[in-house]
Amino acid sequence: MKYTPFFLFALVWMPLSHAQTMHTAPIENLPSSEPHLAHVKQLTFGGDNAEAYWSFDSKAITFQSNFKNWGVECDQIFASPIKKMGQDTTRKPTMISTGLGRTTCAYFMPDNKHILYASTHEGDSACPPSPESTGKYVWAIYSDFDIYVADWKGNITNKLTDSPGYDAEGTVSPDGKSIVFTSTRSGDLELWVMDIDGGNQRQITTELGYDGGAFFSPDSKKLVFRASRPDTEEERTKYKDLLSKGLVEPSHMEIYTCNVDGSELKQVTHLGKANWAPFYHPQGQKILFSSNHHSKRGYDFQLYMINDDGTNLERITSNSIFNAFPMFSPDGKKLIFSSNRNNHGTRNTNLFVADWVD
């Protein structure tokens, strides 16, 4: 998520001092310490909400949430016109997923009428168990995940993957022709690309390590993604052992780019720690991403922007200790992201939208 089994939230939760379902007033016009973000507005008010992505016409969003007040036991997919978000703090958006299993990684299809997402519901109708605590932070790579397409009423209209193992983290190219996703079908967590109808599935990356959370560049010619690259024999053995158990340890990741055919693979960041959730700036030469490289505690995640050649690193956020999943609206005017700002000491992570200022 992309893949977040609401992953890094486990690292950033603050002590619970208020009821988790507490509703708070929207916040706007945050301090100028975040000069790229104007008129910041809170959109959700409870639970863990993340991976919010825009429709192609910039009028709606889809996202995942585990907000108990909406009657879900684990992450499910929701969608809403953006103009209806953040006004009535008790309003439940439309649930797109079945309500069964666990879901992740939703994205609008080009017609703005259908949404793809990954779900485990065909493997088991119950929420899959979270990994057992071993003292190390790990993500579960559930083998039951497959990628589906549903309409606004939640009716599944297509199943795009049907291979054994994990298939998730799907996003759609701006030209509406292709989908990139992460799969374990070849034995490792690699990027794959398929046509918009699920056909012509082909592997893009091949190096050992977790390649995931990919998005297309604005011209649909390149991909940006997060990747781990175990260097030593000890690291490679550990990575393979965890993967055999359906787990990955996400504490060391960097941002990479490549062409959509996998050529010209380049490492963009060399920051250390966890660098993830990348997304291209609308002009296509810069990348926004989330990172804790600056933090001595490990769980302070802020948004950064960097040139796609790895130069000119700039910090974008400074409010709260968790900011991630940035996505520009297709018209380039707004940025949506997840943050635990304004949660009053609860464990809530909410969605925020801001006007983007270059």
Residue 95 and residue 70 in contact, taking contact as beta carbons nearer than 8 Å: yes
With CA atoms as reference, report the closest residue to 242 among 102, 140, 130: 140
Q: What is the pLDDT of residues 172-185, one digit of tens each?
A: 999 999 999 999 99
Q: What is the pLDDT of residues 58-113, one digit of tens each?
A: 999 999 999 999 999 999 999 999 999 998 888 999 999 999 999 999 999 999 99
Question: For position 61, what pLDDT does the model report?
Answer: 98
Question: For position 283, what pLDDT does the model report?
Answer: 96
Residues of the chain with pLDDT under 70: 1-32, 133
Looking at beta carbons, which pairs linking 200-206 to residues 24 or more positions away fall under 8 Å?
Answer: 201/161, 203/262, 204/180, 204/258, 204/260, 204/261, 204/262, 205/258, 205/262, 205/265, 206/262
Domains delineated in the chain: 9-17+48-308 (2.120.10.30)
With CA atoms as reference, report the closest residue to 222 among 178, 267, 261: 261
Tokens representing 256? 């990479």
Instruction: Report which DSSP code applies to 217.
Output: -
Question: For position 57, what pLDDT does the model report?
Answer: 98
Residue 120 and residue 109 in contact, taking contact as beta carbons nearer than 8 Å: no
Residue 179 and residue 193 in contact, taking contact as beta carbons nearer than 8 Å: yes
Question: For position 22, what pLDDT does the model report?
Answer: 36
158 residue type, one letter? N
**CA atoms of 329 and 170, how far apart (whole Å):** 18
Question: For position 140, what pLDDT does the model report?
Answer: 95
Question: For position 27, what pLDDT does the model report?
Answer: 43
Residue 11 and residue 298 in contact, taking contact as beta carbons nearer than 8 Å: yes
* pTM score: 0.92
Residues with Cβ within 8 Å of 186's Cβ and at least 6 positions away in sequence, in order, are 203
Tokens representing 311? 């130069």
With CA atoms as reference, report the closest residue to 234 among 249, 255, 212: 249
